[in-house]
Amino acid sequence: MSFGEMFPVSAWCCRQLVSCTARRVYVSFLGTVILAAIALRIEAARFEKQASATVRALSTLQVGVSSKAEFLARMQALKPVTGPYGVPLCNADECLAMAIPNSRLSDAVFVPVARTENSALYSLLTWLGFRYWSLSVYVNFTSGRVSYFSYDLMLSHSHFDRGADVVVVEVTSQENIGKNRGSELGGDETYRMTHSGAWPDKSVGIAFTPSATKGLVNDAFDLKLHCLWSLAGCKTWSQLLPQVRG
């Protein structure tokens, strides 16, 4: 007696699984996954281009020299923001906060999953190409000139790790280290670096003054964001600033 005669229901199910209709469903599903992965990585590559260009333009500002008009002309990719807690504390004549926000698709799909702390689904979406990203730029003006500026970059980690599921880079330029947002950093008088005590490989803060060595400053603005659209994703801040040592 054949298998089909012994198990007619199972045999019917097997025939359906390899039928032309089933194969079309498989191909359609695979095609949808591939197209979604490509679209998500194109979106990430677009953010990479915008963020890298913005940070390079920001690096050309000079504390005490550059004007507000110069800043606005170079930050065309950014949108003014106030943040969830209102306008940031301003210790100057005028302060601006601008940003390239996270994608709407990520806000709708990826962020809610991250909040559930479902590591398996988080990893699956990351593998597919979902990412969280945010680039914020803060600039203070005193007497019409830039007196402080910084950029904060936040990217989702490749794997969910409660309390350490993001990679953070913060770079600031100011007249004197120890003022404003850089007060907690440690180091010399012109260039200082600090890391998160709990996750030193996932967070870095860099502060410098106009007297800092040009090479050190350039390295702090030389962002490499290829990991954002790679299959593996971003894991450490040193992937983002490979020229920075510390």
- Read off the pLDDT of each residue in 167-182 and give the average, rounded to a whole number: 76
> Crossing angle for the helix pair 119-128 and 20-59, nearest 10 degrees?
80
Q: Where are the alpha helices (DSSP H) in 20-170?
A: 20-59, 68-74, 104-105, 111-116, 119-128
Torsion (CA) 107, 125, 156, 45 in degrees, nearest 10:
-80
Q: Tens of pLDDT along 69-109?
A: 888 887 766 666 554 444 556 778 888 888 888 888 888 88
Q: Residue 17's pLDDT band (boundaries 50, 70, 90)?
A: low
More confident site: 181 or 39 = 39
Euclidean distance between CA atoms 101 and 138, whole angstroms: 14
**SS3 (DSSP) at 6:** helix
- Read off the pLDDT of each residue in 180-188 and give the average, rounded to a whole number: 43
Tell me the pLDDT of the chain averaged across its residues. 79
pLDDT > 70 in the chain, percent: 74
Whether the pLDDT of residue 227 is over 60: the answer is yes
CB atoms within 10 A of CB 220: 25
Q: By the 8 A CB rule, do 127 and 231 touch?
A: yes
Q: State the pLDDT at residue 185.
A: 40
Whether the pLDDT of residue 12 is over 60: the answer is no
Strands 203-208 and 191-195: antiparallel
What separation, in Å, do the N-terminal and C-terminal C-alpha atoms of the chain show?
A: 73
**SS3 (DSSP) at 101:** coil
What is the reported pTM?
0.78
Q: Tens of pLDDT along 25-41?
A: 656 656 666 777 788 88
Q: Tens of pLDDT along 106-126?
A: 888 888 888 887 888 888 888
Q: By the 8 A CB rule, do 181 and 138 touch?
A: yes
**Contacting residues for 103 by C-beta, under 8 A, at least 6 apart:** 43, 47, 133
Is residue 163 classed exposed, middle or buried when 0-12, 13-18 and 19+ CB atoms within 10 A define those classes? Answer: exposed
